[in-house]
Amino acid sequence: MCERTLVVGVGNPMRGDDAIGLLVAGQLRSLSLPEVAIIEHNGDGAALMERWKGFDRVVVVDAVRAEKTPGTVVRFDAGAKPVRAEFATSSSHAFGIGEAIELARMLEELPPSLTVLGVVGKEFRINGTITPEVARAAESVVKQVILEVQHETRDCKMTPDGR
């Protein structure tokens, strides 16, 4: 069976480390991964729920606030268990990624496979710049995303709209 894969880089380029998801999405897009749709997203939960509809596999990359070293990558299988605290409160929106995941779970609208890769950030001020330790994490996150989607995309053909 051909599985449709979506990678979502979440972030705000004007809020320092919050730009990491966008940075990773840009790097992945430059690799022209076959059979993988890659989008940048602002993290609005309602729009995110709508966007991942119809995909069998979704990988979300976002910055998180956690009591860990900045640049640390935290992997979370959102389909298997409730959202962890660092993912539930990481959005500047009232209805962010964590809330979207849990609402989709209640409505039985979660994609069959949903993985969140969170990069621990420390600088989230408006007009802040991404910190060196978080920027350095982008390369390892790109590699991890490739591993996450690699076995899911063999022998698939996407439609012209990227789905």
List, for residues 71-101, the tens digit of each pLDDT value: 999 999 988 877 766 555 545 556 788 888 9
- Return the DSSP state at 4: P
* Structure-block tokens of residue 115: 């993985």
**For 2-16, what is the mean pLDDT?**
89
Count CB neighbours of 106 within 10 A. 9
Residue 11 confidence (pLDDT) above 50? yes
**pLDDT category, 53, cuts 50, 70, 90?**
very high
Residue by residue, DSSP assigns 51-100 as HTTT-SEEEEEEEE--SS-TT-EEEEETTTSPPPHHHHS--SSSS-HHHH
Write down the pTM of the prediction: 0.86
pLDDT on residue 18: 94
Q: Quick check: 40 and 9 in contact, CB under 8 A?
A: yes
Complete domains list, the chain, with CATH: 5-150 (3.40.50.1450)
pLDDT on residue 87: 58
pLDDT on residue 162: 43
